[in-house]
C-alpha cells in the first residue's frame, strides 16, 4: 500500500467539554468509531471559504468530549487536483488494528469521489496514494464530464458478518426511468477496505429530490437505514406529518445489499425548522446503539446529546438514554410552591385558572377557552431537565420554560418585567384537541409540531431537556421534538393548562451541567 504522509498543521488539546462545537463554533457533520468503548468522532470544520481540516475529538461517556489534533488538511490543487477543497462527510472503521478514515474528495468544481486515509495510532493519518477508492459507476449513476460536478459523497461502511464482506453506502445521483435525475443511495462491497466493487442502487426515494448522510445498522435480523433530507432538498412529500420541513427518515431491508424501502411511520427525527437532526450517525457503546447528530442553535452548532435507538412497536425510534442522567449536578426539586403568572401583558390582574396541590399530584386548571400559567418558585438555572406524568381532561397543558438574561427569582413581582414573562416563555404543549405535541415560543408562535395520538384516560410520561439553546422533548421516552430554543442565560420552569384540568404527578426538575 502507498500513502501520502499528512502534515499536521494544528495541535490543540483541552479539557473534556459538553456540546462540543469545534474550532469555529459552527461545526458540520460528524461520524463516530468505537475503540474499546472510547468513541472517536471526526468532523467537518465549517468556516468562511472552502478550505478546512477534518477535526478529531474523543469521548468516554458520549457526553464529554476532548479535542485532539486535526487529522486531515486541505491539499494543494497543483498536486492533488481531485482533492483540493475541504473534505466532506465520511466514516471511520477499524480492521486488525488499522483505522480506515473515509471522506468525500472534492475538486475545484466540487465534483466528488470517495477518498481514504489510514492510521495505526488514531492521531497521524496518511492519505492513500491510489485515491479515490470509489467513483460512481457511470452505468448506474449520473457521472458528468470533467469540469462539471458529479455527486458521490457521505460514505458509510458496515461489516456484514453473514456475508463476510464490508458494504459501503454513499449518496449519488441516478437517472430513474420515468422520473429523471434524483438523489439515491448506492452501495459497493469490499473484503479489504481498499478495493470496492459490485456497485448497486439500494435506495430510491419516493420524491424527486436529494437524500444524504446514509446511516445503516442491524437490529433483530433486519437492516435499517436513516437518511437526511428537507423540503429544501425537494422532499416535501417524504413524510406524512404536514408540519415538518426537516427530517431524518428511515428505511429497512432484509439484507444489507438489497433494496431499502420506507414504511408509513418513517420519521426518525423531525422539525419545522432546518436545525434538527443534522447529519445523524450511530455508534455502538457498551452494548447499546446510540444516535447522535449536529444541533444548531444560538450557541452555534455542536454534537448533540446521545439518543438510544430502540424498537418501539416494530419501528426504530430515538429514545431517552439513561446515560443522560449523568449530566445532573445533584441539585434537584420535587416539592414546589407556585405563583400565578399574568398571561396578558396589558392587564396583569386577569385570572384565567387555578392550581391545587396534594402530596401526590399538582392539579392545574385553565378556565374555559382560557390559558393560565403558574411559575415554580425555584432557582433559575442555565440548563435543566424536567420530568412528570400528565393526565386529565384538557385541550392543552404542559410545561413552560421562562428564559431570562439574569437570575432574578421573583421577576413576576416587577411590573416592568411582565412583558418578559408573556413574550419570553417557551411552551411545551400537549394538545389533545389537535393530537399534537407543540413547542411554542410565547403562547402563539409554533416552532415545532409533531403528531401524537392521545388515548382516553391515558397517563403520559414527559421529559424535557433545555441546554445551551437546544430543546429536547421526550413523550413516553421517545424523542419527538429536538430543535433550537432561545434560552438567554437562565431558565425557570412552570406549568400551564388551557380550557380544562390537568393532573401532573411525579414532577421533578434537575439542574444539568453547563
The whole domain housing 461 covers: 328-512
Give the distance, in angstroms, between the CA of residue 383 and the centroid of all CA atoms in the same chain. 18
Place of cell 428505511: 251
Query: Does residue 5 fall inside a structural domain?
Result: no
Same domain membership, residue 409 and residue 276? no
Establish whether the linkage from the previous residue to 132 is cis, with ω within 30° of 0: yes
Element (H, E) at 419: helix 418-423
514 has which bridge partners? none
Query: Does residue 199 fall inside a structural domain?
Result: yes
343 has which bridge partners? none
Same domain membership, residue 300 and residue 376? no
Q: CA 117 to CA 126: how far, in whole Å? A: 5
| DSSP summary character for residue 327 | G
Place of cell 411590573: 415
Tell me the three cell numbers of residue 19: 456540546
Q: Hey, how many other C-beta atoms are within 10 angstroms of the C-beta on 13?
A: 8
Question: If DSSP codes are grouped into helix, strand and coil, which group holds residue 98?
Answer: strand
CA of 10: how far to CAs of 72, 292, 416, in Å?
Answer: 10, 26, 50
Same domain membership, residue 262 and residue 119? yes
Q: CA 477 to CA 439: how far, in whole Å? A: 17
Q: What pLDDT was estimated at residue 406?
A: 67
- Asked if residues 119 and 99 have their Cβ atoms less than 8 Å apart, the reply is yes
The CATH number of whichever domain residue 335 belongs to comes to 2.60.120.560
- Spatial neighbors of 24 by CB under 8 A, at least 6 apart, are 45, 46, 47, 52
Q: What is the CA radius of gyration of the chain?
A: 25
Query: Does residue 408 fall inside a structural domain?
Result: yes
Which has the closest alpha carbon to 342: 261, 255, 241, 418?
A: 418
Q: CA 303 to CA 63: how far, in whole Å? A: 9
- Written as one string, the DSSP assignment of 190-220 is ESSSS--EEEEEEE--SSSS--EEEEEEEET
Tell me the three cell numbers of residue 478: 421517545
Same domain membership, residue 498 and residue 367? yes
| Domain limit, last residue, from 319, 349, 367 | 319
Query: Does residue 147 fall inside a structural domain?
Result: yes
Same domain membership, residue 339 and residue 257? no
Q: CA 32 to CA 364: how far, in whole Å? A: 44
Query: Does residue 226 fall inside a structural domain?
Result: yes
Q: What pLDDT was estimated at residue 277?
A: 77
Q: CA 277 to CA 282: how far, in whole Å? A: 12
CA of 475: how far to CAs of 319, 399, 481, 505, in Å?
Answer: 9, 13, 9, 15
Query: Does residue 3 fall inside a structural domain?
Result: no
Q: CA 408 to CA 492: how far, in whole Å? A: 10
Q: What pLDDT was estimated at residue 9?
A: 28
Q: 270 — phi, psi (to 5°)? A: -155, 150
Same domain membership, residue 462 and residue 334? yes
Same domain membership, residue 371 and residue 248? no
The CATH number of whichever domain residue 261 belongs to comes to 2.115.10.20
> What's the CA dihedral at 222, 227, 231, 236 to 10 degrees?
-20
Same domain membership, residue 146 and residue 118? yes
- Asked if residues 490 and 382 have their Cβ atoms less than 8 Å apart, the reply is yes
| Domain limit, last residue, from 267, 290, 319 | 319
- Asked if residues 149 and 127 have their Cβ atoms less than 8 Å apart, the reply is no
Q: What pLDDT was estimated at residue 110?
A: 93
Q: What pLDDT was estimated at residue 407?
A: 62
Tell me the three cell numbers of residue 271: 422539525
Same domain membership, residue 88 and residue 189? yes
Q: 321 — phi, psi (to 5°)? A: -100, 130
Q: CA 371 to CA 256: how far, in whole Å? A: 51
Same domain membership, residue 300 and residue 344? no
Query: Does residue 123 fall inside a structural domain?
Result: yes
Same domain membership, residue 485 and residue 394? yes
Number of domains in the chain: 2
Q: CA 381 to CA 383: how far, in whole Å? A: 6
Q: CA 86 to CA 127: how far, in whole Å? A: 14
Same domain membership, residue 202 and residue 298? yes
- Spatial neighbors of 109 by CB under 8 A, at least 6 apart, are 147, 148, 149
Q: What pLDDT was estimated at residue 343?
A: 72
| Domain limit, last residue, from 319, 344, 367 | 319
List the chain pLDDT tens, one digit each, 514 residues.
Answer: 443 333 332 333 346 788 888 766 668 899 999 999 999 999 998 665 677 889 999 999 999 999 999 999 999 999 999 999 999 999 999 999 999 999 999 999 999 999 999 999 999 999 999 999 999 999 999 999 888 999 999 999 999 999 999 999 999 999 999 999 999 999 999 999 999 999 999 999 999 999 999 999 999 999 999 999 999 999 988 999 988 999 999 999 999 999 999 999 999 999 887 666 789 999 999 999 999 999 988 778 899 999 999 999 999 999 999 999 999 999 999 989 998 887 766 666 788 999 999 888 999 999 999 999 999 999 889 999 999 999 999 999 999 998 877 665 544 444 445 455 556 689 999 999 999 999 998 767 888 999 999 999 999 999 999 998 899 999 999 999 999 887 778 899 999 999 999 999 999 999 999 8
Tell me the three cell numbers of residue 252: 429497512
Q: CA 239 to CA 242: how far, in whole Å? A: 8
- Asked if residues 280 and 248 have their Cβ atoms less than 8 Å apart, the reply is yes
Query: Does residue 433 fall inside a structural domain?
Result: yes
pLDDT single digits (tens) 286-318: 999 999 999 988 778 899 999 999 999 999 999
- Asked if residues 378 and 336 have their Cβ atoms less than 8 Å apart, the reply is yes
Amino acid at each position: 500500500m502507498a500513502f501520502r504522509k499528512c502534515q499536521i498543521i494544528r495541535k490543540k488539546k483541552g479539557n473534556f467539554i459538553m456540546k462540543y462545537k469545534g474550532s469555529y463554533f459552527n461545526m458540520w457533520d460528524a461520524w463516530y468509531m468505537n475503540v474499546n468503548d472510547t468513541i472517536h468522532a471526526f468532523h467537518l470544520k465549517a468556516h468562511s471559504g472552502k478550505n478546512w481540516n477534518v477535526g478529531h475529538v474523543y469521548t468516554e461517556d458520549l457526553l464529554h468530549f476532548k479535542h485532539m489534533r486535526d487529522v486531515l488538511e486541505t491539499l494543494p490543487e497543483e498536486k492533488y487536483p481531485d482533492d483540493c477543497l475541504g473534505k466532506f462527510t465520511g466514516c471511520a472503521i477499524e480492521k486488525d488494528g488499522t483505522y480506515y478514515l473515509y471522506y468525500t474528495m472534492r475538486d475545484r468544481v466540487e465534483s466528488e469521489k470517495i477518498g481514504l486515509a489510514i492510521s495505526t495510532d488514531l492521531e497521524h493519518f496518511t492519505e492513500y496514494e491510489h485515491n479515490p477508492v470509489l467513483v460512481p459507476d457511470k452505468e448506474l449513476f449520473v457521472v458528468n464530464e470533467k469540469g462539471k460536478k458529479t455527486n458521490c459523497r457521505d460514505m458509510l461502511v458496515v461489516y456484514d458478518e453473514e456475508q463476510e464482506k464490508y458494504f459501503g453506502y454513499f449518496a449519488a445521483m441516478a437517472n430513474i426511468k420515468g422520473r429523471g435525475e434524483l438523489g439515491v443511495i448506492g452501495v459497493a462491497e469490499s473484503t479489504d477496505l481498499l478495493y470496492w466493487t459490485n456497485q448497486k442502487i439500494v435506495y430510491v426515494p419516493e420524491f424527486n429530490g436529494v437524500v444524504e448522510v446514509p446511516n445503516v445498522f442491524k437490529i433483530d435480523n433486519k437492516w435499517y437505514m436513516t437518511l437526511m433530507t428537507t423540503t429544501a432538498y425537494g422532499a416535501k412529500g417524504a413524510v406524512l406529518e404536514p408540519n415538518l420541513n426537516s427530517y431524518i427518515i428511515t428505511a429497512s431491508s432484509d439484507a444489507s445489499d438489497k433494496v431499502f424501502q420506507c414504511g408509513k411511520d418513517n420519521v426518525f427525527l423531525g422539525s419545522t425548522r432546518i436545525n434538527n437532526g443534522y447529519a445523524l450517525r450511530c455508534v455502538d457503546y457498551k452494548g447499546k446503539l446510540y444516535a447522535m447528530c449536529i444541533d444548531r442553535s444560538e450557541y452555534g452548532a455542536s454534537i448533540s446529546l446521545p439518543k438510544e435507538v430502540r424498537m418501539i412497536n416494530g419501528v426504530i425510534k430515538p429514545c431517552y438514554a439513561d446515560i443522560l442522567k449523568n449530566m445532573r449536578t445533584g441539585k434537584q426539586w420535587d416539592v414546589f410552591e407556585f405563583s400565578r403568572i399574568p398571561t396578558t401583558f396589558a392587564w396583569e390582574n386577569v385570572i384565567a385558572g387555578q392550581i391545587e396541590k396534594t402530596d401526590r399530584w399538582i392539579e392545574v386548571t385553565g378556565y374555559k377557552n382560557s390559558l393560565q400559567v403558574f411559575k415554580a418558585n425555584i432557582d433559575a438555572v442555565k440548563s435543566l431537565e424536567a420530568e412528570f406524568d400528565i393526565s386529565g381532561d384538557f385541550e392543552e397543558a404542559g410545561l413552560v420554560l421562562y428564559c431570562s438574561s439574569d437570575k432574578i427569582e421573583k421577576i413576576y413581582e416587577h411590573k416592568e418585567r411582565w412583558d418578559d414573562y408573556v413574550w419570553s416563555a417557551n411552551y411545551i404543549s400537549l394538545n389533545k384537541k389537535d393530537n399534537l405535541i407543540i413547542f411554542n415560543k410565547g403562547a402563539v408562535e409554533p416552532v415545532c409540531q409533531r403528531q401524537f395520538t392521545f388515548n382516553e384516560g391515558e397517563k403520559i410520561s414527559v421529559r424535557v431537556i433545555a441546554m445551551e439553546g437546544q430543546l429536547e422533548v421526550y413523550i413516553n421516552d421517545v424523542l419527538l421534538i429536538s430543535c433550537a430554543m432561545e434560552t438567554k442565560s437562565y431558565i425557570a420552569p412552570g406549568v400551564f393548562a388551557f380550557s380544562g384540568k390537568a393532573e401532573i404527578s411525579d414532577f421533578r426538575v434537575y439542574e444539568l451541567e453547563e
